[in-house]
Each structure stands twice: as structure tokens, then as C-alpha cells.
């Protein structure tokens, strides 16, 4: 489990971006599984990287990121964490790692052993590391029919269709598809995991999921902070590669797929591939791109002010686009994606907007009071249905309310697992349902590669927008052109927050 180099002494600009990296995501997820008893007995966690560190150095590095309400859990977990230094592209460097694994397995005679390799690495070194593991780290201490070896790889899975296929070929030549787990943490989110149950277990919803009842679907990912300190990394990819081609496409597939024959990993992924194959290649005219600039009133810098971002950068930090699915269920229904950094709010959600009623009997504009099913991933996980009702009182006035399932209100005291925690456990169990299969990856890259090349060549306009705003006006105009109607004067608020606001002070 490779570790990033130690942080420099420079301080990032506030507000800080969300943390990433094994010490900030992977190790805390492992700690949570450990304290709940989900890790197999006698599990060992071995870090492998190029940095010069001892076991104690590793534990000191991890300590600030590990929190637990269980007394002694952090110290017990750290006691199973060790470290080995080595090169990624030198097979001989892996001999100490293999020796450590064999020594650990030797202490568990006659018990099956599993080896999970988690690649928190740049994709360019995946083939070298796979070759070294294949050559040095696949032999267990003793044969057992239940021994296993699995590999988790993180995005980005390539840069475009060609590089993705090249990477898949190189890794596929060394390990079969059943061994490779391409992690997309959005598939580990609670609301993504609920998508299938919501769609296929409710008779009042499934018949409505088609072109006869739905006007448009909007999939939204908004962050209220910029790249603060990560601009050099982000600039290599841009918002389409970083968020849309992977996270939002996986969400789209879960919304739009047909019911699988069975709820099994390959049957589910078969249906996701079918719907991805039906999506037309994204056209430049169906896309609006933007890049944020400084907002002096808020005291926030522009994207190009971030260290590591070149002054002539054309990497988009904002995108609104329209995808079209050519099949019987969804023909004519635009799937609108919106993703951006340094916007006016932080949220990730799916908004399914239904057709307007034919005519209103109550003096309201039918287009401005549409029903919507909203699946909110973050913050404040929720599923709610916007509906029209009579305002209480003596007058006949129509208003908008909602049927509301806010997780924090309905499931009080229930802990929602972190996505990485859930996905690592799935991998240990050998469940690939929430991991990306190679043909899924191929189809997602097919949809975006032509427009990505056009962006790289400067053939797609880039609009400017100020930090902390809603983004370029052209983005909202594109969504409106495709039939999305924004409900003015209505803002969803979790029930608990409404009660808090109404309470006497």
C-alpha cells in the first residue's frame, strides 16, 4: 500500500480541499473495519513505497488521521501496520515484501490466506507493479483451495480510450478480470447502493422511469472550494476526466439500466454496459466548459493562481453537458450532467424531473411546479419527491412540498459507512458488484474521448466564472434548452434543520 511523500511545510489556502491518499482514506477505512470485526483474524497491513521509513515512522504518520471511539482500537490497529521500502519497477525489490507475507502466513498453518494489494499509485506504474507482484508475490506459504489474491486500482484508469485500453491490456495480460477491482468510490456511497432497491422494488416508481413520464434527468456534482494546492495534479485531467467520465457515468448507468436477471455482480454490470453502449458520443455543441477566476469580494483566488497551474491552462473546472440514450426506454430524454469546482454550494445529487401536467386547474404554471424525484448523495443524504399540494387555510392555493426521506432524521443513530470502507470489505469478500468492469470502462471512455481530444486541442470554448458563483450562464442556458425547469422560490431543507430553525431561541 504505497504512501505519498511527507507534506511540505507550505500551508494550503482555506478552505481546504477534501483529503485523499492512503493515510487519509484507506487506512481510516481499514481501522473502521478492524474495530467492527470485519477484517479477517490475524490480518496484517503492510505499506510498500519508495520513501525511507521505519514501522514507527509509518505509525507516527498515520496517527493524526486515525480516530476511534473504541478505547485502544487505534493502538491495536497500528500494531498490525508495518512498512517495507522498495522500488515499483524493480522485481527484486519485492523480495522483502514476499518474505514478510510468507512469514505472516507461516504463523497460520492450514488456514486459507488472502492477499489484497491496494494501488494508491499513478496509473503509469500499474503495469510495472503488476509485473513485479506477478513475478514475486503470488506464491502463498502453503496451498489451499480458498487462498486468494486481489488487486484494487484507483482512477484515473487512463487518459482517453486508447490509453485506457493499453493499460487494461497490460494488466489483463498478468491478471484475469476476477482479480482486478477498479475502485470508483461513488459506487460505495449509501445512496448509490440504494439505487437498485429504489428503482426495482417500488411499483409506483418503476413504471414511471421512461420517456413517457420523465422530461429530463440531471446529475449534479458541485464543490464550493477550488483546487487549493492540488492544481498541478488537477490540471492534467480537468473536470470531465476527474469526475464526469467515471463517477457521474456510473450514477447514470445505475439510474438508466434495465432490471438485471438477478442481483449478482455480473448481471448488474451487464445491464450497465448495455445502457452505456446506447449512449451517443458526446458532441461539442452539447457541452459548456468553464474555468473559475478570482473573486475579490470573497477573497478567493482564481484557478490559475493555484501553484502548479500554468498561466495558459485550458483545463476546465466546470462542465455542463447533455448525453442522449438511444433505446426504447429513454429515447428523447436528455441526461444533463453538471460538475464544477469553486461554485456557490457543495452537493451531489440526481434530479429526475417529470413531465408537466397538461393544464393547471389552480392558476399556477405547470412547467414551474413539476414533480421531481431527488436522490441526494451529499451532504445530508436524502431521497425526496417534490409534489404539489394545497396550502393549509381557507383559500385554494397550490404550493410545493415533498415526501421526504432524510437519512439523518429517519435513521437516527445509524452510522452510514464510508465508501472506501464498504468497497474494501466487498473486495475482501470477493464481491465485484460495486467495481468497474473493463467493458464498462471502455464504453465510458468511448463516449467522451472525441470531445476530450477536442478540448486538449483548444477547439472547445472555455467560459470564465467567478469563484463562489453558480458557474457560466451558458451552462444554465443549455440545461434550460434541454427542458430543465428550475423551481424558483423553493429550497429543500432537511426536517431536522427546519425544526431547529423554528425552535424558540
Burial class (CB in 10 A: 0-12, 13-18, 19+), 107: exposed
Residue 14 has pLDDT above 50, yes or no: no
Interatomic CA distance for residues 154 and 220, integer angstroms: 22
The CATH topology of domain 22-183 is: Rossmann fold (3.40.50)
Interatomic CA distance for residues 255 and 199, integer angstroms: 8
At residue 503 the predicted structure's pLDDT band, cuts being 50, 70 and 90, is low
Instruction: Label residue 342 left, alpha or beta by phi (over 0 means left) and psi (-120 to 50 means alpha).
Output: left
Q: Which residues are catalytic?
A: 247
Residue 256 has pLDDT above 90, yes or no: yes
The pLDDT tens digits of the residues spanning 286-340 come to: 999 999 999 999 999 999 999 889 999 999 999 999 999 999 999 999 999 999 9
At residue 21 the predicted structure's pLDDT band, cuts being 50, 70 and 90, is low
Counting residues of the chain whose pLDDT is more than 90, the rounded percentage is: 70
Burial class (CB in 10 A: 0-12, 13-18, 19+), 316: buried
258-274 CB burial, b ≥16 within 10 A, e <16:
eebeeeebeebbbbbbb
Q: Look over the chain and give the mean of its residue pLDDT values, rounded to a whole number.
A: 89
Establish whether the linkage from the previous residue to 483 is cis, with ω within 30° of 0. Answer: no
3-state secondary structure of 77: helix
The pLDDT tens digits of the residues spanning 26-74 come to: 999 999 999 999 998 889 999 999 999 999 999 999 999 999 988 999 9
The pLDDT tens digits of the residues spanning 350-381 come to: 999 999 887 777 767 777 778 899 999 988 89
At residue 417 the predicted structure's pLDDT band, cuts being 50, 70 and 90, is confident
The pLDDT tens digits of the residues spanning 391-410 come to: 888 888 888 888 888 888 88
Please give the radius of gyration of the chain, using alpha carbons only, rounded to the nearest integer: 24
Scanning the structure block, which residue is given the C-alpha cell 448495455? 274
Burial class (CB in 10 A: 0-12, 13-18, 19+), 478: buried
Q: 31 with 39: CB under 8 angstroms?
A: no
Residue 119's φ and ψ, nearest 5 degrees, are -90, 95
The pLDDT tens digits of the residues spanning 122-164 come to: 888 999 999 999 999 998 888 888 899 999 999 889 899 999 9
Angstrom CA distances, 464 to 338, 342, 377, stand at: 16, 12, 28
First to last CA, the chain: 51
Residue 110 has pLDDT above 70, yes or no: yes
Q: Cα dihedral sign for 275, 280, 283, 285?
A: negative
Q: What average pLDDT does range 409-424 have in this prediction?
A: 89
The pLDDT assigned to 501 comes to 53
CATH of 187-354+369-385+437-475, one of 3.30.360.10, 3.40.190.10, 3.10.129.10, 3.30.43.10: 3.30.360.10
Concatenated DSSP letters for 220-247?
A: EEE-SS--TT-HHHHTTTHHIIIIIIII
Residue 107 has pLDDT above 90, yes or no: no
Residue 10 has pLDDT above 50, yes or no: no
Where do the domains of the chain lie?
Answer: 22-183, 187-354+369-385+437-475
Interatomic CA distance for residues 369 and 486, integer angstroms: 9
Q: What average pLDDT does range 8-24 have in this prediction?
A: 45
Residue 488 has pLDDT above 90, yes or no: no
Interatomic CA distance for residues 398 and 359, integer angstroms: 14
The pLDDT assigned to 365 comes to 75
The pLDDT assigned to 12 comes to 36
**Is pTM, for the whole model, over 0.85?**
yes
Concatenated DSSP letters for 361-424?
A: SSSS-GGGG--EEEEEEESS-EEEEEEEEEPSSSS--EEEEEEEEEHHHHTTTPPPPPHHHHHH
The pLDDT assigned to 505 comes to 52
Scanning the structure block, which residue is given the C-alpha cell 453558480? 470
The pLDDT assigned to 2 comes to 47
The pLDDT assigned to 4 comes to 39
At residue 496 the predicted structure's pLDDT band, cuts being 50, 70 and 90, is low
Interatomic CA distance for residues 466 and 503, integer angstroms: 36
Tell me which residue of 484, 449, 156 sits closest to 283, measured CA to CA.
449
Q: Work out the number of other CB atoms within 10 angstroms of the CB of residue 206.
A: 13
Q: What average pLDDT does range 455-465 have in this prediction?
A: 94
Interatomic CA distance for residues 255 and 192, integer angstroms: 9
Q: Cα dihedral sign for 473, 475, 478, 482?
A: negative
Interatomic CA distance for residues 329 and 207, integer angstroms: 11
The pLDDT assigned to 504 comes to 56
Amino acid at each position: 500500500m504505497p504512501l505519498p511523500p511527507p507534506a511540505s511545510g507550505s500551508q494550503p489556502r482555506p478552505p481546504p480541499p477534501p483529503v485523499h491518499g492512503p493515510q487519509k482514506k484507506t487506512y481510516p477505512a481499514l481501522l473502521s473495519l478492524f474495530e467492527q470485526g470485519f477484517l479477517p483474524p490475524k490480518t496484517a497491513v503492510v505499506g510498500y513505497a519508495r520513501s525511507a521509513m521505519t514501522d514507527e515512522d509509518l505509525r507516527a504518520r498515520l496517527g493524526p488521521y486515525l480516530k476511534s471511539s473504541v478505547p485502544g482500537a487505534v493502538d491495536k490497529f497500528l500494531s498490525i501496520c508495518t512498512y517495507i521500502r522498495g522500488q515499483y519497477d524493480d522485481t527484486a525489490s519485492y523480495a522483502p515484501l514476499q518474505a514478510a507475507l510468507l512469514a505472516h502466513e507461516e504463523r497460520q498453518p492450514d488456514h486459507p490466506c488472502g492477499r489484497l494489494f491496494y494501488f494508491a499509485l499513478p496509473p503509469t506504474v500499474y503495469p510495472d507493479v503488476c509485473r513485479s507482484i506477478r513475478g514475486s508475490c503470488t506464491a502463498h506459504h502453503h496451498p489451499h483451495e480458498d487462498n486468494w489474491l486481489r488487486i484494487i486500482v484507483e482512477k484515473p484508469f487512463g487518459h482517453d480510450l486508447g490509453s485506457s485500453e493499453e493499460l487494461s491490456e497490460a494488466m489483463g495480460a498478468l491478471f484475469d478480470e476476477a482479480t482486478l477491482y477498479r475502485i470508483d468510490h461513488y459506487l460505495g456511497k449509501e445512496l448509490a447502493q440504494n439505487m437498485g432497491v429504489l428503482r426495482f422494488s417500488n411499483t409506483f416508481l418503476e413504471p414511471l422511469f421512461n420517456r413517457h413520464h420523465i422530461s429530463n434527468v440531471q446529475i449534479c456534482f458541485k464543490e464550493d472550494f477550488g483546487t487549493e494546492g492540488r492544481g498541478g495534479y488537477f490540471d492534467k485531467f480537468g473536470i470531465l476526466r476527474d469526475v464526469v467520465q467515471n463517477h457521474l457515468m456510473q450514477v447514470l448507468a445505475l439510474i438508466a439500466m434495465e432490471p438485471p436477471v438477478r442481483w449478482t455482480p455480473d448481471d448488474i454490470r451487464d445491464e450497465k454496459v448495455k445502457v452505456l453502449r446506447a449512449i451517443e458520443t458526446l458532441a461539442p455543441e452539447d457541452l459548456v466548459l468553464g474555468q473559475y477566476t478570482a473573486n475579490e469580494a470573497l477573497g478567493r483566488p482564481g484557478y490559475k493562481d493555484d501553484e502548479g497551474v500554468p498561466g495558459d491552462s485550458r483545463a476546465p473546472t466546470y462542465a455542463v453537458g447533455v448525453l442522449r440514450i438511444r433505446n426504447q426506454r429513454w429515447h428523447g430524454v436528455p441526461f444533463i450532467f453538471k460538475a464544477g469546482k469553486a461554485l456557490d454550494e457543495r452537493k451531489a445529487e440526481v434530479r429526475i424531473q417529470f413531465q408537466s401536467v397538461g393544464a393547471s386547474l389552480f392558476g399556477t404554471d405547470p412547467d414551474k411546479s413539476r414533480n421531481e424525484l431527488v436522490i441526494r448523495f451529499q451532504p445530508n443524504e436524502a431521497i425526496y419527491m417534490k409534489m404539489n399540494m394545497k396550502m393549509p387555510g381557507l383559500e385554494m392555493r397550490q404550493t410545493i412540498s415533498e415526501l421526504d426521506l432524510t437519512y439523518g432524521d429517519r435513521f437516527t443513530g445509524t452510522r452510514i459507512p464510508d465508501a472506501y470502507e464498504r468497497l474494501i470489505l466487498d473486495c475482501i469478500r470477493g464481491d465485484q458488484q460495486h467495481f468497474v468492469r473493463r467493458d464498462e470502462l471502455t464504453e465510458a471512455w468511448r463516449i467522451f474521448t472525441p470531445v476530450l481530444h477536442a478540448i486538449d486541442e483548444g477547439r472547445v470554448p472555455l467560459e470564465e466564472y467567478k469563484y463562489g458563483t453558480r458557474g457560466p450562464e451558458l451552462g444554465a442556458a443549455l440545461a434550460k434548452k434541454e427542458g430543465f425547469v428550475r423551481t424558483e422560490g423553493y429550497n429543500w431543507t432537511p426536517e431536522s434543520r427546519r425544526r431547529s430553525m423554528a425552535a424558540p431561541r
